[in-house]
Amino acid sequence: MSATAEQSDYPSFRHRIRCCRDGYLREVLNRHQDVIRVKKEEVALPKLEVIFEKTLEISNQHGFQAMSVRDLGEATGISMGSLYSYIESKDRLLDMILTYGHVMVNHALGIPDGLQGARRRMRYVLRTHVYLSEVMQPWFYFSYMESRHFDRDSRAQTMAGELRTETLIHELLEEGVAEGVYHVSDTEFTAALIKPLLQDWYLKRWKYRRRKVSVDDYADGMIAFVESALGHEAATAAQQSRGVMK
């Protein structure tokens, strides 16, 4: 999916992401066709979706290391033999799941060409990331919490994904400083401070659920806080940012 200029509310964003899901799964299928023996897309894509969904569900409850292929087979209703025709091994399954998430993130965070101005572009990226981590919360939680158990290659893939988002924020801060709308002396460090604000939404959902904070409430408040810290008057900016992609 290439991000469009219409991502102004969460329900429509979620609908667009779900409509593009087959495309993301197809990319995983293409990248891992050396081990996925089922070649018919109409068969393979739904199976991959349920395999990924149940893997994340089990892992976020009990841990990826503790999950066996037998556990996955019972959860998906797919026989052991059929599972191995898709995943080959748990290590390869992990690689596929990370690929799936990174494909979605990279596509969704693409800034529309017509969106001008660092401030509007930053609002777009921050709100889109919050929306995306709401749609993909199990994957974001998994990639963060399980990364310490990953092998070197998978851990490097996860770290590279996190740094890509941070680098995007850093570049937008640089643009904003050049335009005179942001006033920070160390844009790289500031980007590193903003990243945990994005992570808090998907790592501590219990806290915001208890406080009845919606996904838009969080995005509004976080954007207002960031813009205030960057030296921009944010009294009405957060609410206005809901229309930044229009």
Query: Cβ of 200: how many Cβ atoms within 10 Å?
Result: 15
pLDDT of 122 over the 70 cut: yes
CB 134 within 8 A of CB 7: no
3-state secondary structure of 33: coil
pLDDT by residue (tens digit) across 225-244?
Answer: 999 999 854 434 544 556 55
More confident site: 142 or 152: 142
pLDDT at 50: 97
Asked if pLDDT for residue 246 goes beyond 50, the answer is no
The listed CATH number (1.20.120, 1.10.357, 1.10.3470, 1.10.10) that belongs to domain 113-243: 1.10.357
Mean pLDDT of 194-204: 96
Taking a C-beta distance cutoff of 8 angstroms, is the pair 57, 75 a contact?
Answer: yes
Burial code of 78-96, b = ≥16 C-beta within 10 A, e = fewer? Answer: beeeebbebbbeeebbbbb
Reading the block at residue 70, the tokens are 């037998």
**Burial profile 168-180: b = 16 or more Cβ within 10 angstroms, e = fewer:** bbbbbbbbbbeee
- CA contacts within 13 A on the Cβ side of 56: 20
Q: Which of 223, 96, 203, 71 is nearest to 157 (CA)?
A: 96
Q: Got the DSSP string for 86-117? A: HHSSHHHHHHHHHHHHHHHHHHHTPPPTT--S
Dist CA 235 CA 239 (whole Å): 9
Select from 3, 103, 116, 119 the least CA-distant residue to 48.
103
Q: In the chain, what's the furthest Cα-to-Cα distance?
A: 60
Predicted model pTM = 0.86
- Residues contacting residue 40 through CB under 8 Å, at least 6 positions apart: none
User: In this structure, are residues 100 and 25 in contact, taking their beta carbons and an 8 Å threshold?
Assistant: yes
Please state whether 22 falls in left (phi above 0), alpha (psi between -120 and 50) or beta: alpha
Q: How many CA atoms lie within 13 A of 199 on its CB side?
A: 15
- Sorting pLDDT into bands at 50, 70 and 90, what band is 147? confident
Cα 137 vs. chain centroid, distance in angstroms?
8
The ranges assigned to domains in the chain are 10-102, 113-243
Tens of pLDDT, residues 3-30: 333 345 899 999 999 999 999 999 999 9
- C-alpha–C-alpha distance, residues 71 and 23, integer Å: 28
